[in-house]
Every structure is written in C-alpha cells, then in structure tokens.
C-alpha cells in the first residue's frame, strides 16, 4: 500500500480517495467484509468503500497459450474475423474453487459471441487462474473507429455457494486508423518507378502508413508489420536495401532513437522507417494491404506476459491504387482476361443457401478443387471445377452426406495447384 497526497492504492489495483474531516485524514486499516473494501480513519470513521466481487475478472490474453481460429491464425483484432482469448479470474474467497465455469456475454452490436463458455482449473483462495480453454468472439465486418466492446463475465462454482459472480471488462476493437499512406515510386533509395504515386507492373514502392490513435487510451511499445493479400506482392523483409537492412515491421512514435508511448488522441504518427515492396503483377490494379499494429494497452509490458500491459494486435486494412481511371480491379476483369484465381460469396452471412462464384484463369484451366471447411480444418463438402471463366453455383448448407449443417463459421477454400484461396463463410439459421 502506497500513500501519495490523499490517494491510496491497494495491491489489487483499487484506488481510494481519502475524504478529510478534522483529524480523520489518517488511514488506519482496510477491511474486507460483505463484498466491500472499507477504509477506516483515526476516529473509526469510514473514509470510503467500494464493492468488489469476491470472484472476478482479472485480465485477458490473446496470444500466450491461446489456440487461434484457423480463420484468423494470427489472432488479429480485425473486423470480419473471429478472435479467441483466455481470461484470468481472481478468487478473493477463503475457499478454494474447484469447479469453476465462466460465461461471457455482450450487448454490443459489433460482436457476436461464438463460444461463450470457458472452464477454469482449480483456483485456490486469494489466487488467480486462467481459463483452460478459449472464448471466441466474431467481429462485425464494418466497425467504426474508436469502438470498444464491453463484456460481462458470469462465474459460477458447483460446490461453493454465493454465485453467480458478475464482473465486466472491455476490449478496444478499433483504436487506430490509417488516415494517410504515403507512396514513393521514384528511384531513390530503394524504390524503382516513374514517380507518379501509382504502383505499376515491375515497380518497387516504398510505403509510409501513418496511424492515428482515436481512443482515450495510451499504448506502449507500438510497432507495425505489413501484410498483403494481393497476389504477386513481395514485401521486403530481412533484405539488404541500398543503405541498410529492410524489414516488414517498424516501430512507431520514435524520437531521437527512443520509442515513447502513444498518448490518447495522438494523430499522424509515422513509422521509424518505411516499408518496401515489389509489385510483380503484369497489370495495374487495386492492391490490398493490412498493417498489423501491435501495442500494450495503458501499461508497459511486464517482466512476463501475464503482468502489466496486455498485448494487442489490431489489423488495419488499406488499399493502394484506388480511384485511378487506368486501374483494373481484379474482380472487374472479363472472363477471357482472367489473370488470377478468384472467389466470391453472396450473401454472407447466409441463411441457409449461398451463391458461390469461382473465377478460373488460363493458368488453372486444368481445374481447381472447391471445399467447404469446418472449424477443425477438415473438408465437409467438395466440388471439382475446370474450364476458364466464372463458375457460378449455389450451396444449400449440406455436407457430402446431404446432412444439414449447423449455424456457425466455415471456410470456403479454393485449391489450384500450389495456389490456395480462402474466404470465411457464416451460416445463420
């Protein structure tokens, strides 16, 4: 317990403000009774009190010991994909909890809870423990900037009376945006192009994605890593550039070589170095990137992963070459000029039938395999397609034995030679 002015902080993180009256400004003790922490002053006067659930949420974790969904193997917090997490719960009771179970719920319209139940191993008195399995939450496709999702954690124990115990927590879903991306396609130092700010065939471009913090939170040790889902884009990593080694990741908010925290509402934050990529396509079209922004929420990282700041990885999609009249979008190319394998799903979510469109270019004219894949990664329905052009057909949400499939998340997978395309598919019934 530390004392600073009239603010006292207990070991479990509760902050007490001492109300003074005469000489009643000296803290003598903190008492825990009837689910309340009570501070007592010199004259026996209650200075303050706060309710605390005897079994409550402590923290969450997205990465260490967490098995991510096959649809989001990096477990990025990104609109349109499921995220998995484990939850730490603290037991303030005098009894050990041996049959603990937790359920999460949320009224936030930007999330759908796919797996709401988690079990906990034995949590001894006055100790904390992690859920033994993951909770799963599906994020809505279009989530506004600076959106957080609030959750309730409802905890029960089969042997110990007094529950259920309900506590709350929030997850920042979209604290960062990319307001601007600078493109350099001149001939200095690593880029190679005609300096028109359009990424064109056989050019090398340099990118500077600028980020802004739209939230009221602070973030520590923030860095970004660049990905692309566009075919034939090669992002440089661990590669010798003209003056130094080039990597696919960079720290943000660095001043004189020192990285400092990103403060609430801080805007126009640049990476320490730019990103470099080679554009190996033979035509110019819209290109898709994702900047994975990693940071620790409101606290510096601890000496181990389960203390202090919680690590988050937010995926922020952006596009280049958008809006230029000479740009060809892959999905707009006529059948005869198909240059890339493509897949379209509509509607998505589906209830219960879904229209599939598979575009097969000349390079894959011998045929492709189309699969519906369950959450276990196994194919439950397969089609074989051949011939150049678009193949349009309907799936009725049945497996190869003609059994109706349950609601949930599936993956549409298209395999042509060594090329694999995947697209998430949600069934609602």
SS3 content of the chain, % helix, strand, coil (to 5): 0, 50, 45
Considering only residues 270 and 195, tell me which one the structure prediction assigns the higher pLDDT.
270
Q: At 336, is the pLDDT very low, low, confident or very high (cuts 50, 70, 90)?
A: very low
Containing H/E element for 384?
A: strand 379-385
Instruction: Tell me the mean pLDDT in the region 237-258.
Output: 94
pLDDT band at 20 (very low <50, low <70, confident <90, very high): very low
CA-CA distance, 296 to 319, in Å (whole number)? 26
pLDDT band at 44 (very low <50, low <70, confident <90, very high): low
What pLDDT, on a 0 to 100 scale, did the predictor assign at position 357? 84
pLDDT 10s digits, 199-226: 888 899 999 999 999 999 999 999 999 9
- The domains found in the chain, sorted by start residue, are 2-51 (no CATH), 55-172 (2.60.40.10), 176-320 (2.60.40), 334-427 (2.60.40.1930)
Judge whether residue 50 has pLDDT over 80: no
Bigger pLDDT: 261 vs 323: 261
> What is the rounded average pLDDT of the residues 101-111?
94
Per-residue pLDDT, 330: 37
Q: How many CA atoms lie within 13 A of 203 on its CB side?
A: 21
CA gap 12, 176 in Å, rounded: 30
pLDDT of residue 362: 63
* 3 state SS of 187: coil
Return the pLDDT at 193: 86
Rounded to an integer, the average pLDDT of 91-112 is: 93
| pLDDT of the residue at 91 | 93
Edge-to-edge strand list for the sheet holding 100-105:
117-119, 100-105, 148-157, 165-172
Query: What does the DSSP assignment read for 233-251?
Result: EEE--SEE-SSSEE-SEEE
Q: Are strands 148-157 and 111-115 parallel, antiparallel or unpaired?
A: unpaired
Read off the pLDDT band of 349 (50, 70, 90): confident
Report how far residue 293's alpha carbon sits from residue 313's, in angstroms, rounded to the nearest whole number. 5
Q: Which of 46-60, 124-138, 237-251, 380-394 has the lowest mean pLDDT?
A: 46-60
Note the helical H segments in 166-284: none
Q: With 50 as the cut, is the pLDDT of residue 191 above it? A: yes
Mean pLDDT of 161-181: 93
Please check the confidence at residue 34 and state whether its pLDDT lies above 60: no
Task: Say which residue, 276 or 428, is predicted with more confidence.
Answer: 276
Q: What is the pLDDT at residue 299?
A: 92
What is the reported pLDDT for 138?
A: 93
- Residue 280 vs residue 35, higher pLDDT: 280
Of 266-270, 314-318, 337-341, 382-386, the poorest mean pLDDT is in 337-341
Is the pLDDT at 18 greater than 60? The verdict is no
Q: How many CB atoms lie within 10 A of CB 363?
A: 14
Alpha-carbon gap, residue 125 to 360, rounded angstroms = 61
Percentage of residues in the chain with pLDDT exceeding 90?
48
pLDDT of residue 9: 40
pLDDT at 5 over 50: no
Work out the mean pLDDT of the chain and round it to a whole number: 83
Mean pLDDT of 249-271: 95
DSSP 263: P
Q: Average pLDDT for residues 20-46, to the nearest whole number? A: 50
pTM, whole model, 2 decimals? 0.67
């Amino acid at each position: 317990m530390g004392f600073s002015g009239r603010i006292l902080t207990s070991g479990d993180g509760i902050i007490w403000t001492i109300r003074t009256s005469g000489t009643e400004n000296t803290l003598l003790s903190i008492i825990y009774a009837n689910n309340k922490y009570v501070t007592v002053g010199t004259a026996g006067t209650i200075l303050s009190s706060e309710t605390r659930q005897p079994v409550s949420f402590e923290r969450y974790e997205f990465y260490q010991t967490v098995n991510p969904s096959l649809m989001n193997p990096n477990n990025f917090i990104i609109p349109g994909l499921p995220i998995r997490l484990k939850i730490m719960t603290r037991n303030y009771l005098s009894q050990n909890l041996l049959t603990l179970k937790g359920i999460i719920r949320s009224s936030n319209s930007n999330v759908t809870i796919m797996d709401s139940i988690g079990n906990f191993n034995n949590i001894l008195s006055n100790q904390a423990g992690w859920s033994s399995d993951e909770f799963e939450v599906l994020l809505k496709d279009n989530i506004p900037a600076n959106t957080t999702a609030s959750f309730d954690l409802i905890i029960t124990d089969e042997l110990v009376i007094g529950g259920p115990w309900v506590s709350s927590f929030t997850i920042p879903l979209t604290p960062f945006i990319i307001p601007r991306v600078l493109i350099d396609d001149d001939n200095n130092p690593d880029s190679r192009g005609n300096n028109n700010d359009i990424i064109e065939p056989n050019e090398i471009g340099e990118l500077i994605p600028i980020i802004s913090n739209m939230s009221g939170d602070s973030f520590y040790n923030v860095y970004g890593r660049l990905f692309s889902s566009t075919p034939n884009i090669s992002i440089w990593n661990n590669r010798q550039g003209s003056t130094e080694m080039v990597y696919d990741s960079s720290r943000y908010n660095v001043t004189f070589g020192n990285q400092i925290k990103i403060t609430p509402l801080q805007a126009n934050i640049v990476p320490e170095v730019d990103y470099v990529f080679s554009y190996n396509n033979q035509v110019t079209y819209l290109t898709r990137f994702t900047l994975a922004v990693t940071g620790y929420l409101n606290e510096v990282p601890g000496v181990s992963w389960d203390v202090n700041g919680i690590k988050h990885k937010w995926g922020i999609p952006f596009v280049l070459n958008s809006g230029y009249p000479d740009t060809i979008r892959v999905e707009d190319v006529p059948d005869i000029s198909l240059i890339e394998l493509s897949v379209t799903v509509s509607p998505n979510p589906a209830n219960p039938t879904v229209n599939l469109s598979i575009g097969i270019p000349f390079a894959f004219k011998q045929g492709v395999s189309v699969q519906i894949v369950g959450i276990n990664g196994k194919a439950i329905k397969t089609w074989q397609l051949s011939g150049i052009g678009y193949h349009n057909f309907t799936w009725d949400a049945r497996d190869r034995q003609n059994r109706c499939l349950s609601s949930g998340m599936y993956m549409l997978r298209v395999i042509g030679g060594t090329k694999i395309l995947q697209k998430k598919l949600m069934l609602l019934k």
